[in-house]
Chain A
Amino acid sequence: MAISFKRHWATLRFGHYLGWSIEANWTHPVLYGLYSVIRPVFASLLLVFIYRIVVKGQVQAGLFEFLYVGNAFFMYVINVLAGIGLMIHDDREHYQMLKYIYVAPVRMYWYFLGRSAAHITISTIGVVVTLTLGVLAFDVNLSWAAVDVPLLAFGVITGLLATLAVGILLAGIALVTAMHSFSATEAVAGVFYLASGCVYPIDVLPAWMQSFSRVLPFTYWMEIIRRGCLGSRLTPSLAQLSDLELVGIMSATTVGLLVLSHFGFTLCDYLARQGGKIDQKTDH
Chain B
Amino acid sequence: MKTRLSTNLRAIVARSYVRIVGGNRELSWVFFEIVLPLLNVSAYVFVYRALGASPEYEGFVILGGAMLAYWLNVLWAMASQFYWEKEMGNLELFLIAPISRMAILLGMAVGGLFMCSVRAASILVMGVVLFGVKFQVEHWWTLGATFVVTMVALYGLGMLLSSLFMLLGRNGWKLSMVLQEPVYLAGGFYFPVKYLGVATSVVAAVIPLTLGMDAMRQLCFPTLDTNPLLPVGAELAILTVLAVVFLWCAAVSLAHMERKGRESGRLTMKWQ
Instruction: Give the interface of A toward B (CB within 8 A).
Output: 26-27, 35, 38-39, 42-43, 45-47, 49-51, 53-55, 58-59, 63, 67, 94-95, 179-180, 183-184, 186-187, 190-191, 193-194, 199-201, 204-205, 283-284
- Which residues on B sit within 8 Å (CB–CB) of A51? 51
Q: Is B147 an interface residue (CB 8 A)?
A: no
The distance from the CB of B259 to the nearest CB of chain A, in whole angstroms, is 25
Q: Which of B29, B50, B88, B169 has the most CB of A within 10 A?
A: B50
Give the nearest-CB partner of B169 in chain A. A26
Task: State the CA gap A43–B36 with chains docked (Å).
Answer: 17
Q: For chains A and B in complex, what number of residue pairs have CB atoms within 8 angstroms?
A: 104
Contact of B42 among A180, A194, A284 (CB under 8 A): A194
Contact of A54 among B87, B88, B177, B191 (CB under 8 A): B191
Q: Is the interface of A mostly helix, strand, loop or mixed?
A: helix
Is B43 a contact of A193 with CB atoms below 8 Å? yes
Quick one: which of B42, B46, B181 contacts A42, CB cutoff 8 A? B181
Complex: A284 Cα to B89 Cα, angstroms? 8
Please name the residue on chain B nearest to A59 by beta carbon.
B51
Q: Could you say which residues of chain B place their CB within 8 Å of the CB of A27?
A: 171, 174
Do A50 and B191 touch (CB < 8 A)? yes
Can you list 22 residue pairs at the A/B interface with Cβ under 8 Å?
A26-B170, A27-B171, A38-B182, A42-B185, A43-B181, A46-B181, A50-B44, A50-B47, A50-B191, A67-B50, A95-B271, A180-B32, A183-B29, A183-B36, A184-B32, A186-B32, A193-B39, A199-B47, A200-B47, A204-B49, A283-B88, A284-B88
Separation of A191 and B35 alpha carbons in the complex (Å): 10
Number of chain B residues whose Cβ lies closer than 8 Å to a Cβ of chain A:
39
> What CA separation (Å) do A194 and B45 show in the bound complex?
10
For B178, what are the chain A residues with a Cβ–Cβ distance below 8 Å? Answer: 35, 38-39
- 6 nearest CB pairs, A to B: A200-B50, A190-B39, A183-B32, A42-B181, A26-B170, A55-B51
> Residues 162-190 of chain B: 1 if any A CB is under 8 Å from the residue's CB, otherwise 0?
00000001110010011011101100001
Closest residue of chain A to B28 (Cβ to Cβ) is A180
Query: Complex Cα distance A194/B169, Å?
Result: 33
Residues of A within 8 A of B32 (CB): 180, 183-184, 186-187
Q: Check A59 against B52 for contact (C-beta < 8 Å).
A: yes
**Contact between A42 and B184, CB atoms less than 8 A apart:** yes
A54 touches B57 (CB 8 A): yes
Known: A49-B195, A200-B46, A200-B47. A39 touches B181 (CB 8 A): yes
Closest chain A residue to B37, Cβ basis: A190
B36 contacts A186, CB within 8 Å? Answer: yes
Chain A residues with Cβ below 8 Å from B51 are 50-51, 55, 59, 63
Interface positions of B (Cβ within 8 A of A): 26, 28-29, 32-33, 35-36, 39-40, 42-44, 46-53, 57, 87-88, 169-171, 174, 177-178, 180-182, 184-185, 190-191, 195-196, 271
Residues of A within 8 A of B26 (CB): 179
**B52 engages A58 (CB within 8 Å):** yes
- Residues of chain B within 8 A (CB-CB) of A43 are 181, 184
A55 partner residues in chain B, CB cutoff 8 A:
48, 51-53
Q: Which of A46, A53, A63, A284 counts the most chain B CB atoms within 10 A?
A: A46
B50 touches which one: A184, A193, A194, A204 (CB < 8 A)?
Answer: A204
List residues of chain B with CB within 8 A of the CB of A180: 28, 32
Which residues of the partner chain A approach B87 to less than 8 Å between Cβ atoms?
Answer: 94
* Cβ distance B82 to chain A, nearest Cβ, rounded Å: 15
Q: Provided the pairs A95-B271, A183-B36, A284-B88 are in contact, do residues A63 and B50 lie with their beta carbons within 8 angstroms?
A: yes
A199 / chain B contacts, CB cutoff of 8 Å: 43, 46-47, 50
Residue of A whose beta carbon sits closest to that of B197: A53
B18 CB to nearest A CB, Å? 11
Does B46 contact A191, Cβ atoms closer than 8 Å? no
The residue in B39, B178, B271 that gathers the most chain A C-beta atoms within 10 A of its C-beta is B39
Are A53's CB and B195's CB within 8 A?
A: yes
Chain A nearest CB from B117 CB (Å) reads 19
16 further contact pairs, Cβ within 8 A, besides A54-B57, A199-B46: A39-B177, A42-B182, A46-B190, A49-B185, A50-B48, A55-B51, A179-B26, A183-B29, A187-B36, A193-B40, A193-B43, A194-B39, A194-B42, A199-B43, A204-B50, A283-B88
Residues A50 and B174 in contact in the complex (CB < 8 Å), given A39-B180, A190-B39: no
A49 to B185, CA, bound (A): 8
| In the complex, chain A residues whose CB is within 8 Å of the CB of B33 | 183
